[in-house]
Amino acid sequence: MTQTIRGFCFAIWIIISGMSGQAQQLENQLDSLSYIFGYNLAENIKRQGIREVDHEWIARGVADAMANKEGLISRRAGRSLSQNFCGFAEGTTDQAGKGRG
């Protein structure tokens, strides 16, 4: 489990570092898998219309969940927050589309 957490932290570190033009080395299968999990997570976030996140809190959330720690926000509050944000983002998109038509 510790290796898994390290792998996720490595993936988040890559995101935070911004891949400064130098190729990073994935040293083993766990590194590769962890990287693709982080990459897919970011792609999913972008598909939802979210363009800015706090990478440190994402890394903290991943680490806490992988360590079976209690979340800093309850699941219910998290769902509500996500639904409200997604509704806000969809409303913004819909209004922008209406303004063009």
Q: What is the pTM of this model?
A: 0.57
Give the domain extent around 89. Answer: 73-101
Total count of domains within the chain: 2
Q: What is the pLDDT of residue 4?
A: 58
Q: 55-74, pLDDT tens digit by residue?
A: 999 999 999 999 999 999 99
Q: Helix/strand/coil (H, E, C) string of 31-88?
A: HHHHHHHHHHHHHHHHHCCCCCCCHHHHHHHHHHHHCCCCCCCCHHHHHHHHHHHHHH
- pLDDT-wise least confident of 6-10, 26-30, 50-54, 84-88: 6-10
Same domain, 26 and 11: yes
